[in-house]
Amino acid sequence: MMPKIACVAIITHCHNDDVIKKTQECFAAILKNTNLYAPNWYQIIFIDNGSNDKFKAWLKTLEESHLKVHTIYNKENLMFAKAANQAMEYASKFADYCVILNNDTIPRLGWLFSLMQAAELDPKIAVVGAKILRPGSDLVIHTGTILKKGKVEDPYGQCTPKELIPRKIIEDRLWVNGSCMLIKTSVIKEFGYFDDANFSLYFEEADYMIRLRQAGYKVVYCPMTEIEHYQKTTADTIPAAKDNFYANWDKLSKKYTDYWKSLNNLEGCPKVAVIVPAYNAENTIKATLNALFAQSYVNWELFAIDNMSIDSTLAILNEYKKIDDNSRGLITDINDRVNIGTCADKGVAYARNEAIKRIKEKGGFKYVFFLDADDIWNKDYLEKLVFQLERYQFDMIYSLCDKKFEDETIAIPFGIPEPTVFDRELLFKQNYIFNSFVGVKLDTLISVGEFRNDLNGLEDWLMWVQIAKSGANIYCYPEILGTYRVDRLRKTNASEGTLKKMEIIRNSARIN
């Protein structure tokens, strides 16, 4: 049986000495770390995207001195996808595999042999990716992408070898990192090439591999193949690279939203809207939102309404809308999950009503949860409460919570007794349900009307009373699932205005 042949394709766009040097190091590493295991099983092809004369001269010397080197010269930078397609077409003429390798990588010993071994473990395997390491270290940068609870992420980013002992020869991935990927040429002949019309630079490999998976192929990560990667060496020399990154990620995430949801079975997870009104909350809102983004339940969207803050609150909110965290090899699509609005400074009730209008307009939400800009949810808060709402068909649910001052000291005594079973008659007398720990069916919320704008400070109490009076099924989840922040300077409920508001609510409760 003839050995399998690999075509190692390196795409180059070299216009400074640093990029040229790293490309030369990559080539030297291939020769050094491949021949021992595969002396006659590979050819190297350079796809040159209009590099400078100095680099082209070096390529000419390689072609003259190495039988294994072939070059395709492009007059201009065709970008990654088109160049990769040229490599795939060339490899398909004679090789069993096309291995696309970034020119700023350092393949370690046995890298190609391991990729080829992994590819032959299953005829359904179409693409094999490598363990990507920071140069000169054993810090893992990428191992490929998975879907975890609705989020696209690398499961092993920023791990060291001691933390990353391979448990399997291969692991399934949604896609693997394009800096090193083996593609079977039999798949190329059947399935085709990268979509270079829509993904010219960044995420073309992701789009290709997701389409392969949808067609029934497998994409896997091979932990035995180790590649050091400098990252963005060439991309940093291309003016449009950063814009392409965000534009192509937006295309990719929108194109495969339904597919990703099907993989995560989000169809069975009702969509939740989380309302966060904010006014001059720059000192607290980051902790609040960080806890929201850490939720184990992922099918939620944030509706944040800024009440004309005069500090940096709105700027902080906008940062959360555009976060794209690549620091650990993660790509977190949160843009579509963050809805930010502003409204006149008419109080928290007005802001919540504005958010509810936006939720109704957007549609698709089953439950609404309330969260003030200084309170903190436990990681499993939404997961536990949504499960109860779904299982028992409650109309409203709330949990217990800790009460703490901003310095983390316990705020005791504070408030009134909290029964661990919903007490309708007690609620009509005094409010013991904390706003930031309540979830309500959107239909129930709509049926009872808006928050009263003239009852700021106690508007939530009246809302719970109105929901209770409607005959709604209300449940107390008897577990502490977060922290309610208490302002040491908070005024007591003894003011004349507050007493009048309390009387309005109690009168409302008595009306049949």
Q: State the greatest distance between any 2 C-alpha atoms of the chain, in Å, as a whole number.
A: 95
pTM: 0.60
User: Residue 329: which pLDDT band, with cuts at 50, 70 and 90?
Assistant: very low
User: Residue 330: which pLDDT band, with cuts at 50, 70 and 90?
Assistant: very low
User: Quick one: three-class SS letters along 180-215?
Assistant: EEEEEHHHHHHHCCCCCCCCCCCCHHHHHHHHHHHC
Q: Helix-strand-coil percent breakdown of the chain, rounded to 5?
A: 40, 25, 40
What's the CATH number of domain 6-260, 3.90.550.10, 3.30.300.160, 3.30.2320.50, 3.40.50.2300?
Answer: 3.90.550.10
CA gap 149, 140 in Å, rounded: 22
pLDDT at 158: 64
Distance of CA 224 to the CA centre of its chain: 27
Give me the count of residues in the chain: 512
Which H helix or E strand runs over 498? helix 496-510
pLDDT at 473: 96
Which H helix or E strand runs over 376? strand 376-377
Contact by Cβ (8 Å): 446, 360: yes
Average pLDDT over residues 110-117: 92
What are the helix (H) ranges across 278-347? 285-293, 313-322
489 has pLDDT over 80: no
pLDDT at 497: 61
pLDDT tens per residue across span 243-254: 778 888 888 888
pLDDT at 482: 95
pLDDT at 166: 58
CATH architecture classification, 269-510: Alpha-Beta Complex (3.90)
Enumerate residues 6+ apart whose C-beta is below 8 A from 140. Answer: 131, 132, 133, 134, 156, 157, 158, 159, 160, 164
Closest CA to 99 of 110, 107, 88, 114: 88
Radius of gyration of the chain (CA): 29
Average pLDDT over residues 154-178: 75
Contact by Cβ (8 Å): 161, 151: no
Which of 39-53, 139-153, 287-301, 379-393 comes out lowest in average pLDDT?
Answer: 139-153
CA gap 176, 85 in Å, rounded: 17
Cα atoms in the Cβ-side hemisphere of radius 13 Å centred on 466: 18
Q: Residue 405's beta-bridge partner residues?
A: 486
72 has pLDDT over 80: yes
User: Residue 78: which pLDDT band, with cuts at 50, 70 and 90?
Assistant: very high
pLDDT at 326: 37
Average pLDDT over residues 455-476: 91
What single-letter amino acid sits at 259?
Y
pLDDT at 418: 73
Q: How far are the Cα atoms of 15, 23, 37, 144, 450 from residue 130, in angstroms, in the given order?
A: 27, 19, 17, 8, 55
User: Residue 3: which pLDDT band, with cuts at 50, 70 and 90?
Assistant: confident
pLDDT at 66: 77
Average pLDDT, the chain: 86
pLDDT tens per residue across span 366-423: 999 999 999 999 999 999 999 999 989 999 999 999 988 877 777 765 556 678 899 9
**Fold equal for 6-260 and 269-510:** yes
Which of 21-30, 64-73, 472-481 comes out lowest in average pLDDT?
Answer: 64-73
Scanning the structure block, which residue is given the tokens 């109690």? 506
pLDDT tens per residue across span 343-358: 887 889 999 999 999 9
pLDDT at 323: 53
Contact by Cβ (8 Å): 397, 438: yes
CA angle 278, 279, 284 (to 5 degrees): 70
**Residue 468 token pair:** 């209770």
User: Residue 146: which pLDDT band, with cuts at 50, 70 and 90?
Assistant: confident
For 487, the 3-state DSSP assignment is: coil
**Residue 394 token pair:** 């409650």
**Domain range list for the chain:** 6-260, 269-510
294 has pLDDT over 70: yes
CA angle 210, 215, 217 (to 5 degrees): 75
User: Quick one: three-class SS letters along 411-444?
Assistant: CCCCCCCCCCCCCHHHHHHCCCCCHHHEEEEHHH
